[in-house]
Each structure stands twice: as C-alpha cells, then as structure tokens.
C-alpha cells in the first residue's frame, strides 16, 4: 500500500528500528507509522483518516479569498490630481 501511495516500491524504504513496524507501514495522509499491516488497514477505516482525506481534497483558502470574505475589497480609484496633458 505504501508503494501505491508514494510511487516508490516498499523495499526502497530503509528499515528503521526507532519507528513502529520498522517504518514499513506508513500512512501518507496522516503522517503516522504503524506496527503492522493490520493496524494500518484498521487506521484507514477510522473516522480520523477519513476526515483527514476529506480535508486534503478541499481547496485551500488564498489571501485574496480571505480579504474578500472579510469585506476588504480592492477599489480602483481615479487619479487624485486628474490626467496631466
């Protein structure tokens, strides 16, 4: 499953004794390591995982959207001293 999500074969990830499951069972969406494949599969059925996936699919707000929502519009004003000829 890790190879499917990251595009890298699972055997290219180095075994790390400090991580649960040697770092071989990793959830990309939540950034968590699991002890075995069953724990990872159970995690992918959880409410937390599903919420995180939904959150990642949503479009992020931009500064322009935030300013629009707060009522800070950008008005185009005429020149203060008129056009010089």
Give the chain's end-to-end CA distance (angstroms, integer).
Answer: 70
Q: What is the pLDDT of residue 11?
A: 47
Q: What is the pLDDT of residue 25?
A: 83
Residue 9 has pLDDT above 70, yes or no: no
Residue 46 has pLDDT above 80, yes or no: yes
Confidence of residue 45 (pLDDT cuts 50, 70, 90): very high
């Amino acid at each position: 499953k890790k190879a499917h999500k990251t595009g890298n074969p699972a055997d290219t990830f180095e075994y790390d004794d400090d991580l649960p499951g040697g770092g071989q069972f990793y959830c990309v969406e939540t950034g968590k390591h699991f002890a075995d494949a069953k724990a990872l599969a159970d995690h992918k059925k959880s409410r937390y995982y599903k919420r995180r996936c939904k959150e990642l699919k949503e479009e992020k707000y931009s500064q322009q959207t935030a300013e629009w929502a707060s009522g800070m519009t950008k008005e185009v004003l005429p020149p203060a001293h008129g056009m010089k000829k």
